[in-house]
Structures are given as structure tokens and as C-alpha cells.
Amino acid sequence: MVLAILIPMDLIFAAIIGMVAGVGGGLFGIGGGIIIVPCLVAALGFTQHKAQGTSLVALLAPVGVLSVMNYYKAENVDLRIGGVVAAGFFGGAFFGSKIALGLDEVAMKRGFAVFLLCVAAWMLFTTKGK
């Protein structure tokens, strides 16, 4: 409760999303589209476009400068949340890689497959058509 008073809840969620993405990145080499985007939609209520644009902020340096510029011009970027997600991702990747290095290849492949199936099922069954 005290933490929520000192730090806005959206920043707490952003830090958690970044850490989960970092662990996922370290474990499976994934993050942006598979973890950050769905989490921003589910946890913070972002639109798909805003989640994608904000996810690119977290990945800006290595991959997305031009994409972020386009999303930013269309007002589909939250720099504050994206920056906090990036910080969490940075630290989480370290811990995820440590865990991954302790797992055998079969466990890694099966874990990754189960994770992808769960994300796919969530997206399939929570998407509302027009």
C-alpha cells in the first residue's frame, strides 16, 4: 500500500512488465511483441497500437528508432511507461539468462512452446471482432 502511494500504479505495472519481458528475453530470446505488447494491453488498458508503439520505446536503441518516430507522430507512444519497461527489461534479461543457462534444451523448447500456446489462446479468445 505504501509503495502505491509513493509510486503510481502504472509505473509499478510497467516495471513488472519490463522484468517479465527481460526474463522472457533472457530465457527464450523474446520480449517485445510476445510479452510487452499483450501485457500493456491487459494490465494498463492500452490499445494495440499504443502498446506496440510503447513497446518500441523499450527496444528503441537496438531496433526501432524509425518505427517509434512514426508511432510517436500518430500519438501512439507513452515515453514514460516505455522507459520504465526498458529499465525492467534490462535487469530482467540478466536473471532470465541465468535461469535459462541452468535448463536443458528439451525443457527450454517445451517451456517456450507452452508459453506461446498460452499467449496465442489468450489472444484468440479475448479478441472481440467487429
pLDDT digits (tens, 9 = 90+) for 89-112: 888 888 888 888 888 878 878 887
Confidence of residue 48 (pLDDT cuts 50, 70, 90): confident
pLDDT digits (tens, 9 = 90+) for 5-44: 788 999 999 999 988 888 887 777 676 678 888 889 889 9
- The verdict on residue 122 lying in a domain is yes
- The verdict on residue 54 lying in a domain is yes
Q: Which range marks the domain in which residue 24 is found?
A: 8-126
pTM to 2 decimal places: 0.62
- The verdict on residue 58 lying in a domain is yes
- Number of domains composing the chain: 1
- The verdict on residue 25 lying in a domain is yes
pLDDT digits (tens, 9 = 90+) for 57-78: 877 665 567 778 888 999 999 9
Q: Which pLDDT score, from 0 to 100, does residue 64 have?
A: 66
Q: Which pLDDT score, from 0 to 100, does residue 60 have?
A: 64
Q: Which pLDDT score, from 0 to 100, does residue 74 have?
A: 93
26 burial level (CB within 10 Å; 0-12, 13-18, 19+): buried
- The verdict on residue 49 lying in a domain is yes
Q: Which pLDDT score, from 0 to 100, does residue 13 have?
A: 92
User: Over 38-74, what HEC string results?
Assistant: HHHHHHHCCCHHHHHHHHHHHCHHHHHHHHHHHHHHC
Greatest alpha-carbon pair distance for the chain in Å reads 45
Q: Which pLDDT score, from 0 to 100, does residue 66 have?
A: 76
Considering only CA atoms, which of 39, 86, 78 is closest in space to residue 61?
86
- The verdict on residue 1 lying in a domain is no
Q: Which pLDDT score, from 0 to 100, does residue 81 have?
A: 93
Confidence of residue 47 (pLDDT cuts 50, 70, 90): confident
Q: Between the CA atoms of 26, 112, 60 and 93, what dihedral angle is there, to the nearest 10 degrees?
A: -20
